Amino acid sequence: MGDMLSNSVTGLLAFQTALDTISNNIANVNTPGYSQQTTNLVTAPATQTGVGSIGNGVAVDNVTRSYSDFLAAQTNTANSSYNQLNTVSTLAASIDNMFSDPSTGLSATLQSFSQSIQTLANSPSQTSARQAVLNSAQSVISQFQGYQGNLTQLGAQVNTQIGAEASTISSLAQNIASLNQQIMTAQGSNSSQPPNSLLDQRDNLINQLSQDVSVSTVRQSDGSVNVYIGSGQALVVGTTAATLTATPDQFNSGQDDLSLQTGGSNVDITSALSGGTLGGLLQFRDQMLIPAQNALGQAAITLTNLVNTQNAAGLDQNGDVGGALMTVGGPQVLASTNNQGNASVSATVSSLGGLTASNYYLEYNGTAWSLVDSASGVASPLTAGSGGTLSGAGLSFTVSGTARAGDEFLVEPTSNAVSGLSMLTSDPSKIAAAGPLVTSTGTGNGGTASVASATVPDTSDWTRGDYTITFSTPTAYSVTNASGAVVTTGTYTPGTPLTPFNGIDVSLSGTPAAGDSFAIDDNANGTGDNTNALALAAILNQGVLNNGSTSLSDAVNAYVGTVGLQTSQAQNGATAQQSVLNSAQSAQSAVSGVNLDEQAADMVQYEQAYQAAAQTIATAQTLFESLLSAVES
Amino acid sequence: MRISTSMINQSAVNGIMQDETALSTTQNELSTGLSINTPADNPVGEVELLQLDNTSSQYQQYISNGQSANTNLELENTALTSSTTTLQSIRDLVVEANSGSNSSSDLKDIATQISALESQLQGSANSQNAQGDYLFAGYSVGTQPFVRGANGSMSYLGDSGAPSVQIDSSTSVQMSDPGSSVFMDIPAGNGTFTSAASSSNTGTGVVDTGSVTNAAAWVAGQYTITFTDPTDYTVTDTTSGTQVASGTYSAANGGEIAFNGIQVGITGAPAAGDTFTVSPAGQQDVFTTLDNLVSSLNNAGSGAAASAQLSSSLGSSLQQIDQALGQISTTTSNVGSRISLISSVNSSVTSQSATVATQISNLSGLDYASATAQYSQEYVALQAAEQSYAAIDQLSLFKYL
């Protein structure tokens, strides 16, 4: 009976503990990171007697949590991927939205600029048509600047967020390290009783960390967990946490780099980081933001060069050779703060066809310079020119001072372009609508020849004036200027152009007779000429980019397509990763989560057992009383 | 499989949120009427759309270029028509002057009328458009092209430029004709040579404008026809002095004198020593022609010889006026064909533009039928998700304890 009583008591105590655990489970049904706990009961060691082994009731072995390292790691990985893609997709949408309306986008604005020039070509002498061209050029510039402003703001936002992420990661690391310490202490005192709530807290922190950056963990025998981020950089080792900080990069280009600080060492790990919100921010910055700024800059440089070059090929309303109408920011070369030499490098755009939307590293190895694409790492050919200049990637570099081996420069060919974009004139007469020359066939010419074309390839080589080509025989000609002085003489072969004179190229068609003359006059009065305006209107469709294969209009359209594609990829990726994350979370929750119905059933089960144990005590009492009454009577 | 209570809630909420996102996307499409609302909705379609938008606005520009060129050409047409009318009136006056029954004062009156008409012609040649640009000045539209110099002769201050505009991807049309080609560079004489009577002639011989009988035999050069007596003549090359032909003149057989593949007719009675010249045709502007005409009418002498000279001169003037009329009529018909070219190209561009508009609407426009169907489908799904969540929420074993 003594056994019966004490066995019942062990039952009562054990079931109480089990009911405590159940109530704890129910209380924590909505606690993030909580793992369902189970009271593990064992049979108490039996007493060996002469009549056999008599049981001593039940004992509580321990309370364990339902947890799977594998499923937790899967959830963390899915969480990192989802957060990276979700960050990219959210930020990408802000670039995507800039181009949301095709009728007000850059493409449409450029097109209306081109059309305003065509309207000018219809009436080149009309000031209002000229003013309209300047206005639409200004709209193009405003649009470029608006886009650039948005991108700059986005860049600042990304930098701020990177800094915030770095401090979040550092503080999570600190907390994980301190939990490691507490868990080690708890396990040291009683290794068979797992400190469930501490473990849950730590796993929850690691899960939070996986939101910020991709994370991997290695469990140690002392109960601590080592945490690695990115491609294996140790963030927490035992009870030591490293600090992640965002600092300006070595070129001070305005982008922050991330470095990991442990003890005395400070290592730049920007390129090794991926996953999570931080990975998303870095991916967006490198793959969308910088390329977007560069593409915009490339378009601005191309437009400015094309407009200025074509304007300089004609004559403005005052009869002067057209000047530059627009100006644009030049390439930017930034020296690394780690450079040992005192060299400085400047760059200018030398070829539109070679110009790219990439950034480059210009590196000196002690004997030679090399140019490497900063995104792809592919070397770009660099050729030495006269006067110690180097040219590559559509740029011409001038190095002054002395570089030492290992010195490095960041070359941003186009990122600075839009900030320097502006109109150089507000005078509508400065638009060169007219061609430089006007030709006529002499009155009384006996031959069949006429001027097929007369052009000035480069107005800076042109000596202005009226010229007359006179044939003394059908094959010999002389060129005289307005005062009758002979400029040049030559031999004419039908089908081949005349020898260029004073910057003018002339081609004749047909056969001239002796005595025939042709006037090649300066078109200074040609306010009604629209030849150059037509050429200006056509510049958007001129193949100039990618070594002449792509027009500006195509490049702008293709760029909008690229932005759309990147955004939709990020959006689709985020959606797909969302469902991966959901299923990983539900798999983990199937193991660790609390189900109230299950808890209710368990509760009923233990309640009944508790009642039975209590009933056993009552029975023991009855038995005892019947014995007592037998003795009393 | 067990499922945790929080996951039951979580997945129900996830589902509802997904349905709401889909519903809001469809709702946005329905409200904008566009299936591509940002480039990410359809990157490839967006690029195509941008290109189509460019093409469409380019077509609009072609149409407006055509209209602008059309306006200019209509103005030019008007100026050319009035020039033709003026020259016709002058021609009628020349015919009247040539009738042989006019006194010198009659001739002077005619000269005055012709001078007035010439000023009118100058006015037409200096026509301006609404912006004050001269129509016949070539590129130099800011300069009045036809101006009388200090010596009284007309000069052309424009140039030979002819601006054109694009009215289609591959078609350009000339917007104007330079005054030099309309009024200045008019072939003289019959186009090959001119003939004239010497002013010192004493006979009554009148030379006509001649014709080419064998173009291959014609040697361009200055020739002098000299009558050694009223019936015999020689033809010499004026430059070299070489005689190229000689013959007997007979007014009865039409008075034709033929040499080097050409022939000129001389009527009346030339006297011994009279000379007539044949020169290669250059070009003569219509104003010089009219100036010469006025001067010969004003200075017409009396007598048979003078009347023969006047007749020769008026004959050649008439020829020049006809050449000028021909030149203007050629230009007018060119202008007419350009106007009709613009109209036909414009209508084809308009229909191409309509095709592009259809393509744009196919690409970016929303198919309302399927979008509405999708909307109601998504609406039903959301409703079902919400209702089932509310039902599941009621389930708990604790209720029965």
- The 10s digit of each residue's pLDDT in B76-104 is 999 999 999 999 999 999 888 888 777 88
User: Which candidate, B396, B181, B381, places its Cα nearest to that of B286?
Assistant: B181
| Residues A128 and A219 both lie in one domain | yes
| Residues B41 and B177 both lie in one domain | yes
| Residues A89 and A233 both lie in one domain | yes
Is the pLDDT at A1 greater than 70? The verdict is no
| Residues A446 and A363 both lie in one domain | no
Which of A119, A593, A597 is the closest to B6 by Cβ?
A593
Residue B339 belongs to domain with CATH number: 1.20.1330.10
Calculate the alpha carbon distances from B96 to A57, B103, B137 in Å: 150, 12, 34
A321, A442 contact by CB (below 8 A): no
Mean pLDDT, to the nearest integer, of A563-589? 90
Q: Are A111 and B58 within 8 A, CB to CB?
A: yes
| Residue-wise pLDDT tens digits, A182-199 | 998 888 777 678 888 899
Look over chain A and give the mean of its residue pLDDT values, rounded to a whole number: 87
Number of Cβ within 10 Å of residue B308's Cβ equals 24
Q: Are A527 and B69 within 8 A, CB to CB?
A: no
Mean pLDDT, to the nearest integer, of B340-356? 91
A566: tokens are 């990147």
DSSP A140-181: HHHHHHHHHHHHHHHHHHHHHHHHHHHHHHHHHHHHHHHHHH
| Residues B272 and B306 both lie in one domain | no
* Predicted pLDDT at B383: 92
B49: tokens are 């759309």
Strand partners, B258: B263
Q: Is residue B22 part of a domain?
A: no
Domain boundary among A383, A416, A449: A416
| Residues A267 and A195 both lie in one domain | yes
* Predicted pLDDT at A231: 84
CA distance B48 to B36: 11
* Predicted pLDDT at A212: 92
Domain that holds residue B241: 193-281
| Residues B197 and B174 both lie in one domain | no
* Predicted pLDDT at B77: 93
DSSP B151-171: TS-EEE-S-S---EEESSSS-
The arrangement of strands across the sheet holding A215-219 comes to A215-219, A225-229, A233-237, A240-241
| Residues B172 and B292 both lie in one domain | yes
Q: What is the dihedral of CA A26, A28, A33, A36, to 10 degrees?
A: -30
Provide the chain A residues 6-45 that lie in CB contact (below 8 A) with chain B: 29-30, 36
| Residues B45 and B149 both lie in one domain | yes
Q: Is residue A211 part of a domain?
A: yes
Please report which confidence band the pLDDT of residue B240 belongs to, taking 50, 70 and 90 as the band edges.
confident
| Residue-wise pLDDT tens digits, A522-542 | 888 888 888 888 888 888 887
Question: 3-class DSSP state for residue A474?
Answer: coil
Residues of B in contact with A121 (CB under 8 A): 65, 163, 165
Which residue of B lies nearest to A32 if distances are taken between CA atoms?
A: B6
| Residue-wise pLDDT tens digits, A464-507 | 888 888 888 888 888 888 888 888 888 888 888 888 888 888 88
Element (H, E) at A10: helix A2-27
Domain that holds residue A623: 2-66+593-632
* Predicted pLDDT at B296: 87
| Residues B84 and B151 both lie in one domain | yes
b or e along A147-163 (b: 16 or more beta carbons within 10 Å of the residue's beta carbon)?
bbeebbebbeebbebbe
Q: Is residue A527 part of a domain?
A: no
Q: Which long-range contacts (CB under 8 A, 24 or more apart) does B12-20 make?
A: B12/B385, B12/B388, B12/B389, B12/B392, B13/B389, B14/A582, B15/B385, B16/B382, B16/B385, B16/B386, B16/B389, B19/B378, B19/B381, B19/B382, B19/B385, B20/B382
Provide the chain B residues 13-72 that lie in CB contact (below 8 A) with chain A: 14, 37-44, 46-47, 49-51, 53-54, 57-58, 60-61, 64-65, 68-69
B11, A66 contact by CB (below 8 A): no
Interface mutation vs chain B, best among A96, A123, A517, most B CBs within 10 Å = A123
Q: Is residue B374 part of a domain?
A: no
CA distance A610 to A336: 75
| Residues A21 and A93 both lie in one domain | no
Q: Does A577 touch chain B (CB under 8 A)?
A: no
| Residues B208 and B352 both lie in one domain | no
B339: tokens are 């106007």
Q: Does A511 touch chain B (CB under 8 A)?
A: no
Q: Is residue A242 part of a domain?
A: yes
| Residues A362 and A452 both lie in one domain | no
Q: Are A529 and B161 within 8 A, CB to CB?
A: yes
Look over chain B and give the mean of its residue pLDDT values, rounded to a whole number: 86
CA distance A322 to A307: 10
| Residue-wise pLDDT tens digits, B315-339 | 888 888 988 999 899 999 999 999 9
A424, A323 contact by CB (below 8 A): yes
| Residues A389 and A448 both lie in one domain | no
* Predicted pLDDT at A169: 93
Amino acid identity for residue A602 in this structure: D
| Residues B275 and B287 both lie in one domain | no
* Count: domains in chain A: 4
Mean pLDDT, to the nearest integer, of A533-556? 82
Q: Nearest-CA distance from A119 to chain B in Å?
A: 7
| Residues A103 and A244 both lie in one domain | yes
Domain boundary among B281, B296, B317: B281
Q: Are A557 and B6 within 8 A, CB to CB?
A: no
Q: Is residue A136 part of a domain?
A: yes
Q: Is residue A311 part of a domain?
A: no
| Residues A384 and A488 both lie in one domain | no
Q: Is residue B8 part of a domain?
A: no
Domain boundary among B263, B281, B299: B281
N-to-C CA span, chain B: 24
B194, B278 contact by CB (below 8 A): yes
Domain boundary among A416, A445, A479: A416
* Predicted pLDDT at A607: 92
Domain boundary among A416, A450, A482: A416
Q: Is residue A90 part of a domain?
A: yes
| Residues B164 and B295 both lie in one domain | yes
Is the pLDDT at A340 greater than 80? The verdict is yes
* Predicted pLDDT at B253: 66
Which of B46, B57, B159 is the closest to A521 by Cβ?
B159
Is the pLDDT at A381 greater than 90? The verdict is no
Provide the chain B residues 309-338 that lie in CB contact (below 8 A) with chain A: none
| Residue-wise pLDDT tens digits, A133-191 | 889 999 889 888 888 888 889 999 999 999 999 999 999 999 999 999 999 888 877 76
CA distance A39 to A18: 5
Q: Does B75 touch chain A (CB under 8 A)?
A: no
Domain boundary among B255, B281, B307: B281
| Residues B63 and B183 both lie in one domain | yes
* Predicted pLDDT at A79: 93
| Residues B230 and B348 both lie in one domain | no
| Residues A95 and A220 both lie in one domain | yes
HEC readout, A399-451: EECCCCCCCEEEEECCCCCHHHCEECCCCHHHCCCECCEEEEECCCCCCCCEE
DSSP B189-246: TTSSEEEEE-TT--S--EE---EES-GGG---S-EEEEEEETTEEEEEETTT--EEEE
* Predicted pLDDT at A76: 93
A-B contacts at Cβ under 8 angstroms: 213
N-to-C CA span, chain A: 21
Among A72-81, A369-378, B41-50, the range with the most confident prediction by mean pLDDT is A72-81
Q: Are A446 and B398 within 8 A, CB to CB?
A: no
Sign of CA dihedral A471, A476, A482, A485: negative
ipTM for the predicted complex comes to 0.76
* Predicted pLDDT at A633: 66
Is the pLDDT at A225 greater than 60? The verdict is yes
Which of A105, A527, A561 is the closest to B142 by Cβ?
A527
| Residues A559 and A516 both lie in one domain | no
| Residue-wise pLDDT tens digits, A419-455 | 889 998 888 888 888 888 888 888 777 777 888 888 8
CA distance B386 to B381: 9
| Residue-wise pLDDT tens digits, A17-67 | 999 999 999 999 888 889 999 999 999 888 888 888 888 889 999 899 999
Q: What is the dihedral of CA B158, A445, B81, B110, to 10 degrees?
A: 100
CA distance A142 to A155: 19
Mean pLDDT, to the nearest integer, of B238-242? 82
CA distance A138 to A538: 18
Please report which confidence band the pLDDT of residue A611 belongs to, taking 50, 70 and 90 as the band edges.
very high
* Count: domains in chain B: 2
Question: 3-class DSSP state for residue A235?
Answer: strand
| Residues A344 and A388 both lie in one domain | yes
A413, A360 contact by CB (below 8 A): yes
Q: Is residue A219 part of a domain?
A: yes
Element (H, E) at A248: strand A243-248
How big is chain B by its Cα radius of gyration, in Å?
A: 41
Q: Is residue A398 part of a domain?
A: yes
| Residues B167 and B60 both lie in one domain | yes
Q: Is residue B358 part of a domain?
A: yes
